[in-house]
A and B are shown apart, each in its own frame.
Chain A
């Protein structure tokens, strides 16, 4: 019936009805088109769940078989930063849901604000994430054989006995004071050949069977603390070389999630550009260029590379000039944006994607950061 629906003049003449120019010819009504699009998005989200399911499966199998490794290694993750990131992501989910509402009701200016705030939330999440990644890189806590705990690690560094000190200096500080000499020669403790696994380690039987902490090789090792209080590297026994697997799982899960955050931010930027009137879209581009420049400044400070700092600053300055040139026009013309109660499907579907990203983080946070 509406095969010429994409041509507004033809449509306007058709029975005197105004038809939505967004309505594709193979759909009867905008309602049907909207519901079909949504169904397709939910099928896609189901495939996303299946993709992440593989990583959750790897996590479950390794945690099931090596629970002490997860208990030991998760201390490298900062629950404060992870918690802040959870709040940031939940807040950006709220602004996204509010943006969908604004689009459904034709509140065009509010939609622009909501989309902008959601992008800022995503950027904040990635910034905090990169601070966390940077801490891991500094301490050689990479995935696979580049990890300091790997058997094939070729670097100079020795694997730390306790990872808690990486995040909160002093919070979970080791028992001995900084000035005091380490009670035992550290080198021997790392040598797995000199420290056989003790089945009674950490159990109440240990004190009865072995009152002194002398091993069969005659080496005196650090007294193992009660297992439920504090695990250190030497307590892991035969599972010791699996510590590197925890970091592989951590980086794969949070990395794939981080890629999803970046994709979601790009999609929301695409929405933002369409939500702003066509004459004023350079405003959004200016903001995007500013963001890119600031990202390079941040990267330059993180790595640290002077040319990234200077180049990023130049790009950010160009972006600010573009944004300022078009800001006035953008603010005057927000009523001309594309989304309204007759057509808001893209906002709704990108919203669903963004909430899925939030959903996955809701599971990642307790599973990775809050093991004890």
Chain B
């Protein structure tokens, strides 16, 4: 079996298809890879720069929003989810969903018993025994 050297063209998406027995996949074009890479770099700069802006309580959500955009880019293009069977994405997103439930339930729970382990503001700190 001999392989023709396939052209590394951005327009041919199924370059491997002409090989006998080849698994049919979408090979991501170099142009798209570099575009995603550029976006990730720009968003990294943005997430650093945004810390200089006084956003108050909104800062954490801005940082998380940028991180989610970066993660989505990696998932869709570097990890091929955009061209995969949707079942793979469903598995992954359901894991994220359960982590979200886990974290929000735990924070809500700790809010309930916070009064028991944090002294009210202004109270004296007890000397360690």
Task: Give A residues with C-beta under 8 Å from B.
Answer: 18-20, 30-31, 34-35, 38-39, 42-43, 45-47, 49-50, 53-54, 56-57, 60-61, 64-65, 79, 83, 86-87, 90-91, 93-94, 96-98, 100-101, 104-107, 151, 192-193, 196-199, 228, 237-238, 240, 340-344, 348, 351-352, 355-356, 358-359, 362-363, 365-367, 370, 372
Contact = CB atoms under 8 A, between A and B. Distances in A.
B59 to A, nearest CB: 8
B27 A101 contact: yes
B40 A90 contact: yes
A90 B94 CA distance: 25
A77 to B, nearest CB: 13
A344 B23 contact: yes
B123 to A, nearest CB: 7
Nearest to B75: A359
A94 B37 CA distance: 6
Between B40, B67, B78, the greatest number of chain A beta carbons within 10 A of the residue's beta carbon is seen for: B78
Interface string B21-45: 1111101101001101100110010
Contacts of B25: 34, 104
Nearest to B16: A341
Contacts of A362: 67, 70-71, 74
A104 B23 CA distance: 8
5 contacts: A50-B98, A53-B98, A64-B110, A65-B118, A104-B23
Interface residues of B, number: 67
Contact of B67 (A96, A105, A355, A363): A363
B15 A363 contact: no
Interface of B: 1, 3, 5-6, 8, 15-16, 19-25, 27-28, 30, 33-34, 36-37, 40-41, 44, 47-48, 51, 54, 59, 63-64, 66-67, 70-71, 74-75, 77-80, 84-85, 87-88, 91-92, 94-96, 98-99, 102-103, 106-107, 110, 114, 118-119, 121-125, 127-128
Contacts of B3: 106, 340-341
A238 B119 contact: yes
A93 to B, nearest CB: 6
A46 B81 CA distance: 14
Given A101-B28, A341-B23, A93 B106 contact: no
Contacts of A64: 107, 110
Given A90-B41, A98-B33, A46 B106 contact: no
A101 B78 CA distance: 10
A97 B75 contact: no
B99 A196 contact: no
Contacts of A87: 41, 44
B19 A106 contact: yes
